[in-house]
Structure 1
Amino acid sequence: MLANFAETDIYLSNNLAVKLGLRAEHSALIEKWNIAPRVSFAYKLKHKDQISFAYGDFYQKPEPEYLPAANNAGYAKATHYILQYQKTTSLRTFRTELFYKNYAHLYKTGLNNNGKPEVTGNNGNGYARGIEIF
């Protein structure tokens, strides 16, 4: 796998910052490229509080054992959306995140005629959502 990543911070004001990122990667295993953009916005509130939003695409190449059965195999993709609030004091940091992740091109499996599991394609999808408190 060949991959490159570039990222920059842009300060729009004393309280507002944007982080832009881009990842490009190529897998010789499946002979495919992908481009994964990422962006986040952070806004400082009063008293060391901060709210931020992040978006990003993430890819995962298939495991080698999936390839013989998966015709025209591609990357699995996850698109992340995260809303975060953070408060920092001299003793502690409190952080909570609301997240939603959309999954596409997941590998699906089924049983073949002999009753053994096999990959049936990478057209699966799904999502995850929740809240995390740190």
Structure 2
Amino acid sequence: MKRGEFNNYPNLIPLHQGLAYTVKLPDMVTNLLIVPYEYTGLAYIEPSPNPGNTINIFPYYLGQVIEEFELSHGTDLHKPSTEEAVLEKLYKHAWELEKAMAARGGSFEDYMMKMKGLIDFLRYFNSAVKIGKIS
């Protein structure tokens, strides 16, 4: 995405067997990467006008990116690097997230339950090993 190889506006392009999607936003510069799981997950946004320099990480819930709540500090240096770091950040800001989710008819508890399910599934998916034909 950083190299601009995806010319996909306004359509979503599935990546990694449909586990993630990318779309170029209407400004034709910013790329959005969505990891969907029952309408929740994380959204990675490369902000304009300097795409590729920073990545912002936002919750993705009920089909919308919650831009009022940012997981990273806007740079690659500060973004959470492990699942545990993401969960820690979410729990530390549970009240702010609850207010942002409630505005969309959801709740922090529902989001976290789905987020943990997403993390467990991705751990399983990424650890799966294909076994060859046994003769």
Instruction: Select the structure that is richer in strand.
Output: 1
Structure number with the bigger relative contact order (C-alpha 8 A, sep ≥ 6) is: 1
Higher helix share: 2
Larger Rg computed on CA atoms? 1
